[in-house]
Amino acid sequence: MMANNSLASDESVDLWNETMDNCTAFSEAVYLQTYLGARYRSLAESLALSVIYAIILITGVVGNLATCVVIVWNSHMHTATNYYLFSLAISDTITLVLGMISLRYLLQAELLPRAQRSVA
């Protein structure tokens, strides 16, 4: 039984040494690129995401504001349920706007090269 364990450990040590011998010119940047992918999105991806986020923001804000306007202008809609929907629409609008502001800065950081980001 001991012989099998020592054989398995010897094989794993040999495999480790072989792997390390093959990695002589291996850098951190190559490792990150290989296993995690590109550090930044391409310009086309960033612009597509910006357009999608803008559409979500506009439809969300317009829809929530329309809900609020309808509830405020129609007196027969002044019920507890509609007041609750009104407060949900307001909180959803605030969440949309604040969330999109943070996403804007994330996308801007991906679009600008490092040199421009350090100056700005």
d(CA 104, CA 53): 9
Dihedral angle, C-alpha 83, 89, 94, 98, nearest 10 °:
160
pLDDT tens by residue, 68-100: 999 999 999 999 999 999 999 999 999 999 988
Is the torsion defined by CA of 104, 106, 110, 114 positive or negative? positive
Q: Give Cβ neighbours of residue 92 (< 8 Å, ≥ 6 apart).
A: 60, 64
pLDDT tens by residue, 7-22: 456 666 666 666 655 5
User: How confident is the prediction for the chain on average, in pLDDT?
Assistant: 77
d(CA 5, CA 29): 36
